[in-house]
Structure 1
Amino acid sequence: MQEDIQKAVKVIKSGGTFLYPTDTIWGIGCDATNSKAVNKIYKIKERSRLSRFIVLLDSPAKILDYVEEVPDILWDLLKSLDSPTTIIYPKAKNFPKNVISKDGSIAIRIVKHEFCQKLIHILNKPIISTSANFSAEPSPVVFKDISEELKNKVDYIVKTGRDKMNKSKGSTIIKIKMNGEFEIIRP
């Protein structure tokens, strides 16, 4: 795993894209703070630039580096989560425009997957996470289901976790409204 992480970090720091396992499904990622790298993912996925991606962090302590404020109740929620949950925060900061939604929000998941945690910790930057498929196609549950065409478009493919079955769906998504209320977008 360590060699995989080192290779992925090198690719990410050079502005490249990579295919990797997450705590939900296989994903395509890059440095979430690198606008050019993010544009590469839009091109790879053939995705509308109006749609935004999820950003992964390795620790709740880093959230305030990327959002203006977090309601106090959310800190307790983050501690109690036992399944992958993405939270959409209002008032994103320190991201390029092509990562932040038109309304100024950002979708962040604190990842509990060992590979992702170690990678993000060493990189010391958030990474983009989007399903390893072309837009409008089903998300692959196992590595072998990822199309060869897509595999050929990324700069690096992680070897770790190729033989494991991931969850068959993405994360739960919760949106924090400006008034502090929560809305479940995807259970």
Structure 2
Amino acid sequence: MTTEINTCIEALNKGNLIVYPTDTVWGIGCDATNPDAVQKVYALKKREDSKALVCLVSNQAMLERYVKQVPDVAYDIMDLATKPTTIVFDEPIGIAQNLVAEDNTLAIRVASDNFCQRMIQKFGKPIVSTSANISGMPTPNNFDSVSNEILKGVDYVVNLPLENKNAPPSSIIKLGNDGQVKVIRE
């Protein structure tokens, strides 16, 4: 696993794209602070850049470095969640601007998968996490479902002896700094 993590970090540092197993589905990833890398993800997915992408962080301390204010309820949600949960936060900081939604929000999830946590921790910055599919196509719940177009469009594909996941995408909850909570996807 260490070799795979190091190879991913090398690719991410160069602004390249990777396909990797997340804590939910197989995803396309890149350095979330690099606008050129983020643009490559939009181009590969054939997705408008007005549709925001998710970021993964390794822990709550990293989350706090990239969001101006983490509402207290976010910690409760993260601690009590029984499945991976993405939270949409107001006022992200230090993130590629083309990753931030028009309303100045960003969807972030603290990775629960050991591989993701270790990779992101060692990389030291958030990474993009978006399903490894062309926009509008079915989400690949396992590696065998990732299209050749996606696999050929990235610079590195993680090669770990992982079981095929059939996990659903994460829940998504929007937390406003004004205290509003909205469930976007259960």
Regarding TM over 0.5, the answer is yes
C-alpha distance in structure 2 between counterparts of 1:116 and 1:56, whole Å: 8
C-alpha distance in structure 1 between counterparts of 2:75 and 2:162, whole Å: 33
How far is 1:80 from its partner? 1.8
Structure 1 residues 90 and 7: CA distance shift in structure 2, 3 A = same
In the alignment, which residue of structure 1 is the partner of 2:180?
181
Matches within 5 A, 1:23-172: 23-167=23-167, 169-172=168-171
* TM-score, L = length of structure 2: 0.96
- Deviating beyond 4 angstroms after TM superposition, the runs of 4 or more aligned structure 1 residues are none
How far is 1:178 from its partner? 3.6
What residue identity is the alignment partner of 1:63?
L
Give the 3-state SS of the residue equivalent to 2:153 in structure 1: coil
What residue identity is the alignment partner of 1:22?
T
In the alignment, which residue of structure 1 is the partner of 2:16?
16
C-alpha distance in structure 1 between counterparts of 2:121 and 2:71, whole Å: 25
C-alpha distance in structure 1 between counterparts of 2:23 and 2:166, whole Å: 7
| Residue pair 1:55, 1:127 contacting (<8 A) in 2 also | yes
| Residue pair 2:38, 2:96 contacting (<8 A) in 1 also | no
C-alpha distance in structure 2 between counterparts of 1:85 and 1:15, whole Å: 27
Q: Deviation digits for residues 105-149 of structure 1, max 9, x if unmatched?
A: 010000110110000011001000000000000001110111111
Q: Which runs of 5+ in 1 are unaligned?
A: none
How far is 1:61 from its partner? 1.4
Give the 3-state SS of the residue equivalent to 1:128 in structure 2: strand
Q: Among the aligned pairs, what percent are the same residue?
A: 38
Structure 1 residues 94 and 29: CA distance shift in structure 2, 3 A = same
| Residue pair 1:26, 1:166 contacting (<8 A) in 2 also | no
* TM-score, L = length of structure 1: 0.96
Q: Which runs of 5+ in 2 are unaligned?
A: none
How far is 1:163 from its partner? 3.6
| Residue pair 1:55, 1:109 contacting (<8 A) in 2 also | yes
C-alpha distance in structure 2 between counterparts of 1:164 and 1:136, whole Å: 22
How far is 1:162 from its partner? 4.7
How far is 1:47 from its partner? 0.5
The count of corresponding residues between Structure 1 and Structure 2 is 186
| Residue pair 2:56, 2:111 contacting (<8 A) in 1 also | yes
C-alpha distance in structure 2 between counterparts of 1:166 and 1:2, whole Å: 25
